[in-house]
Chain A
């Protein structure tokens, strides 16, 4: 601490910090009251609280279908990204040479390249492959952008994993495949799951690539929201937003729990 007694300065700093934090959470707090408005346009409830916009979401084929598509796409790309990303992280960790370090840096590429650039690039290539506006096309695109996050989280938990356990397993005659499956992965499971949560969130929220590589068939939830914001600001979006905030909150709590587990290991 800068000084034990800096009461005035301390209050100033704390006040400023909490003001910034209030600015951070303000959008989340405002969404819920608007979602229970009794009006047909975006506003705070005027006379009473109404759940009609939630009812609209749960009865509207379009919203439900979009949610379904998003869940399918996010689940598939999460599975792929976790599988490929975990294997890659384990390989890099075990080899630990200058080259494997380069590979790990290379895997970060999708985080660094501006989304609009990768959207344009994939769109062009997806045309050639004939997978524009298909599940495969979107799942592949989302897998690519989610892999780096899996590599990062899994690498972080491998840093705490005792390499001698792996050597012991190999010395006892286990193959690399068996070692990965029965020794390494179980002990870094919290990291793998955490990477999976990250990958799921990335895919579930992704909009820029979807705008490029889909047209009529694929309509994910973010795309519905995007179009809803562009056309008319319907309070249904506020209820969808509230639901997404609730889901995020649940995922975050789950992740923090996983992290704690990872640390106590």
Chain B
């Protein structure tokens, strides 16, 4: 069958989506890169600030710190859940999966709002802890980095659990039995055999969580309450208050470069399309 006219017709099915993306998505992104080196004056002047401004250094540092902490916590907690899911009977695993998917599908705003209710000074957690007499004065859980990290870990957990689970589900139990048969303890078998076999899942989860954390906006903005400024929120504030396109686009371009650089590095170790679920 077929020949090139066949192929051509199938390309026509692809064309509308690709054209729409190129015109209304890729072009605007290129424009951002372009503006960052042309406004207010042509050249790399905007990027100079990346190296000279202490304020910007502080924001990048805050962003990196929160993202690393979030990634570490999320992947460890996610691993525990994924591990349990791979080792329980079907019914319990379905229940676990339901909890995860429900969280995954729920509006980010609703989740951030619920965390505000739970974490604020007069929030449910503080009232409960005071009620049972564990603390005298309310803990400061919101409007600081603790709150942001809690909210972000909550958002990212499904993104870590799903790839780890997909990976460890395929680990053959025989390897572990073999390690046990050769005289290893359960912990040794886990550390030396099981954990290394689950490395692809862990790497995929780390990357997904880190990349999404890097550009995350809603949860930090709400739970940080203006006190914890990460790069995304700074872009919005800088832009809304000053309308300096040059600076806002420079920061956006840097963020974009950062994300793609990370993907390029991690892409050498794992199949990224599988991570993003397209193959």
Interface bits B68-105 vs A (CB < 8 Å: 1, else 0): 00000000011011011101100000001011111101
B263 CB-CB contact with A under 8 Å: yes
Q: Which residues of B contact A167 (CB under 8 A)?
A: 1
**Listed A/B pairs (28) with beta-carbon separation below 8 Å:** A2-B87, A2-B173, A21-B100, A23-B154, A25-B103, A28-B102, A84-B20, A88-B16, A88-B17, A100-B14, A103-B18, A104-B278, A111-B276, A112-B259, A114-B255, A116-B252, A118-B29, A121-B32, A124-B32, A144-B24, A152-B278, A155-B279, A180-B13, A229-B113, A238-B117, A248-B105, A249-B102, A256-B101
Instruction: Give the docked Cα–Cα distance between A180 and B13 (Å).
Output: 10
Given contacts A6-B186, A84-B16, A95-B11, contact A28 B106 (CB under 8 A): yes
Given contacts A95-B10, A229-B116, contact A113 B81 (CB under 8 A): no
Given contacts A17-B96, A114-B259, A116-B217, contact A252 B278 (CB under 8 A): no
Contact A30 B248 (CB under 8 A): no
Q: Which residues of B contact A90 (CB under 8 A)?
A: 10, 13
Instruction: Give the docked Cα–Cα distance between A118 and B24 (Å).
Output: 11
Instruction: Give the docked Cα–Cα distance between A176 and B180 (Å).
Output: 57
Instruction: Give the docked Cα–Cα distance between A89 and B156 (Å).
Output: 27
Q: Which residues of A contact B35 (CB under 8 A)?
A: 124
Contact B278 A106 (CB under 8 A): no
| Chain B interface main SS type | helix
Residue of A nearest to B35 (CB): A124
Interface bits B244-262 vs A (CB < 8 Å: 1, else 0): 0100110010011001100
Chain A 51-76 residues near chain B, CB threshold 8 A:
none
Q: Which residues of A contact B192 (CB under 8 A)?
A: none
Contact B114 A24 (CB under 8 A): no
Contact A113 B29 (CB under 8 A): yes
Instruction: Give the docked Cα–Cα distance between A110 and B29 (Å).
Output: 11
CB distance from B77 to the nearest CB of A (A): 5
B7 CB-CB contact with A under 8 Å: yes
Q: Which residues of B contact A244 (CB under 8 A)?
A: 106-107, 110
Contact A2 B186 (CB under 8 A): yes
Give the size category of B's interface with A: 35 or more
Residue of A nearest to B248 (CB): A120
Instruction: Give the docked Cα–Cα distance between A156 and B78 (Å).
Output: 24
Contact A226 B109 (CB under 8 A): yes
Which residues of A are at the interface with B, using a C-beta cutoff of 8 A? 1-3, 6, 9-10, 13-14, 16-18, 20-21, 23-28, 30-31, 34, 42-44, 84-85, 87-88, 90-92, 94-95, 100, 103-118, 120-122, 124-125, 140, 143-144, 147, 151-152, 155-156, 167, 170-171, 176, 180, 201, 204-205, 207-208, 211, 222, 225-226, 229, 233, 237-238, 241, 244-245, 248-249, 251-252, 255-256
Contact B278 A121 (CB under 8 A): no
Q: Which residues of B contact A121 (CB under 8 A)?
A: 25, 28-29, 31-32, 252
Given contacts A28-B106, A241-B114, contact A125 B24 (CB under 8 A): yes
Residue of B nearest to A235 (CB): B117
Which residues of B are at the interface with A, using a C-beta cutoff of 8 A? 1, 7, 9-14, 16-18, 20-21, 24-29, 31-32, 35, 77-78, 80-81, 83-85, 87-88, 96, 98-103, 105-118, 122, 124, 154, 157-158, 173, 176, 180, 186, 189-190, 194, 211, 214-218, 222, 232, 235-236, 239, 245, 248-249, 252, 255-256, 259-260, 263, 273, 276-279
